[in-house]
C-alpha cells in the first residue's frame, strides 16, 4: 500500500532508499523505483536505542529527506538520530519534535483508504486511481517456482491466515471445501505460525484429491511466496498482506472480508473480487455489527465469515 507513494517520489526525481524490517524487505525489492533497501536490525517492541544509534551513525549524511510511514514514536527516532534535515510524517505518539513536516492524522472514522493515506505524504494531490504495482523478472519467478515444484498458471493459491486474529479468517473447513472443488492443485501460503491451520485445509483436499493440497506455510522465504503468488492462476485470501501482494501482481483473486472493511484496505486491482456481507442488502439479518475491527467476534457467531459459502467463492473466481 506504500508503493504508489514511492512511485510518485521516484517520478519527480527522488532516489529512494527504503528502510524496512527483514520480513517485509523483499516486497520493496519487487518495486523497480526503489534504488536500495536497508534491512533494519531491530526486534519487535521496545525503542532499542543502541541499535538505532548504531545504524544512524552509519547512514548519517547520506539522505536529505525521510518519509516516516508508521505512526509510532520509535519509527521517527532513526531519521532524527541520523540528522536527516527534512523529516515528513503524520502526527502521533508525541512526535512533534521528531518531525520537521507534520501532517494532521485524520480521526479513525475519517481516515481515507491506506493508499491515499500514505500517498499524501508526497505533498501532491492524491488521485483515487492510484494502485499498487509489484514487478519481478520472469526468470526469477520461474526459478523460484521450479524450486517449489510449481508451474506457472498450473495451481491456485490459498492464503488462509490473518495475523490480526480469527475475526478476519474465513473458516478452514470452507477453504477445504473450496479446494476439493477446484480442478488444479492448491498451494497454501503463510507463516510458520499458520502451518497447522494450512494443514487442516490441505489434509481433506489430499484425502479426496491425493497430492493436490500443497502446504508451504513456513516453508518458503517471503520472496518465494511472492513468486508463487505471481505465478498462480488465482488467489483466495482473507484481508491480509498477501491479499495486497496478489492485487499488486494483477493476479485474479477473491478477497474475503469479515471484521475489517474493504472501504479502508481494499485489494486495488481490476481482477480482484471482494466478498463482504456487510454491503449486501439481500443478506439478512443485516450485519449491523460490521465492521467491528476486533480480533475475535464480540458476539461469538462470526456470521460475517461463516455465512460466505465455498460455492459463493467458487462462483466469484469464474473458474
| pLDDT (tens digit per residue) in 207-223 | 999 999 999 999 999 99
φ and ψ at 209, to 5 degrees? -130, 80
* CB proximity list for 84: less than 8 A, separation 6 or greater: 63, 64, 65, 66
Asked if the domains at 3-122 and 138-317 fall in one CATH topology, the answer is: yes
Nearest alpha-carbon partner for 316 in 181, 135, 133: 181
Residue 12: predicted pLDDT: 94
- SS3 per residue for 147-189: HHCCCCCCCEEEECCCCCCHHHCCCHHHHHHHHHHCCCCEEEC
> Look-up: residue for cell 513468486?
227
Q: Is pLDDT at 319 greater than 70 in this prediction?
A: no
Q: Is pLDDT at 303 greater than 80 in this prediction?
A: yes
Q: pLDDT-based confidence at 93, cuts 50/70/90?
A: confident
The topology (CATH level 3) of 138-317 is Rossmann fold (3.40.50)
Per domain, the residue ranges of the chain are 3-122, 138-317
Q: Is 310 helix (H, G, I), strand (E, B) or coil?
A: helix
- Within 10 A of 303 (CB to CB), how many other CB atoms are there? 16
The whole-model pTM stands at 0.89
- pLDDT tens digit sequence for 262-275: 998 999 999 999 99
Q: Which CATH superfamily is domain 3-122 in?
A: Glycogen Phosphorylase B; (3.40.50.2000)
Q: Is pLDDT at 109 greater than 80 in this prediction?
A: no
State the Cα–Cα distance between residues 218 and 310, nearest whole angstrom.
25
Q: Is 227 helix (H, G, I), strand (E, B) or coil?
A: helix
Cell of 186: 492448491
Amino acid at each position: 500500500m506504500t508503493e504508489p507513494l514511492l512511485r510518485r517520489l521516484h517520478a519527480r526525481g527522488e532516489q529512494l532508499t527504503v528502510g524496512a524490517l527483514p520480513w517485509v524487505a523483499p516486497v520493496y525489492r519487487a518495486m523497480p523505483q526503489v534504488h536500495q533497501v536497508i534491512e533494519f536490525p531491530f526486534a519487535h517492541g521496545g525503542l532499542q536505542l543502541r541499535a538505532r544509534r548504531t545504524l544512524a551513525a552509519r547512514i548519517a549524511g547520506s539522505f536529505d529527506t525521510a518519509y516516516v510511514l508508521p505512526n509510532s514514536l520509535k519509527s521517527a527516532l532513526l531519521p532524527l538520530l541520523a540528522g536527516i534535515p527534512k523529516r515528513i510524517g503524520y502526527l502521533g505518539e508525541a512526535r512533534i519534535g521528531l518531525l520537521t513536516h507534520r501532517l494532521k492524522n485524520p480521526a479513525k472514522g475519517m481516515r481515507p483508504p491506506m493508499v491515499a493515506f500514505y500517498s499524501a505524504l508526497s505533498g501532491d494531490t492524491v488521485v483515487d486511481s492510484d494502485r499498487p504495482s509489484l514487478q519481478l523478472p520472469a526468470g526469477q519467478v520461474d526459478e523460484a517456482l521450479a524450486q517449489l515444484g510449481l508451474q506457472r498458471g498450473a495451481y491456485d493459491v490459498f492464503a488462509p491466515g490473518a495475523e490480526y486474529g480469527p475475526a478476519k479468517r474465513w473458516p478452514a473447513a470452507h477453504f477445504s471445501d473450496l479446494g476439493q472443488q477446484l480442478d488444479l492443485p492448491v498451494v497454501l501460503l503463510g507463516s510458520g505460525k499458520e502451518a497447522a491451520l494450512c494443514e487442516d485445509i490441505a489434509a481433506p483436499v489430499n484425502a479426496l484429491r491425493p497430492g493436490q493440497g500443497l502446504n508451504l506455510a513456513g516453508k518458503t522465504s517471503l520472496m518465494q511466496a511472492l513468486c508463487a503468488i505471481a505465478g498462480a492462476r488465482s488467489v483466495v485470501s482473507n484481508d491480509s498482506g498477501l491479499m495486497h501482494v496478489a492485487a499488486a501482481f494483477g493476479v485474479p483473486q477473491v478477497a474475503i472480508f469479515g471484521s475489517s472493511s474493504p472501504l479502508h484496505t481494499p485489494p486495488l486491482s481490476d481482477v480482484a473480487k471482494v466478498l463482504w456481507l456487510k454491503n449486501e442488502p439481500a443478506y439478512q439479518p443485516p450485519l449491523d455489527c460490521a465492521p467491528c475491527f476486533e480480533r475475535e467476534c464480540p458476539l461469538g457467531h462470526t456470521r460475517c465469515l461463516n455465512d460466505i459459502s465455498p460455492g459463493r467463492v467458487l462462483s466469484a473466481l469464474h473458474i
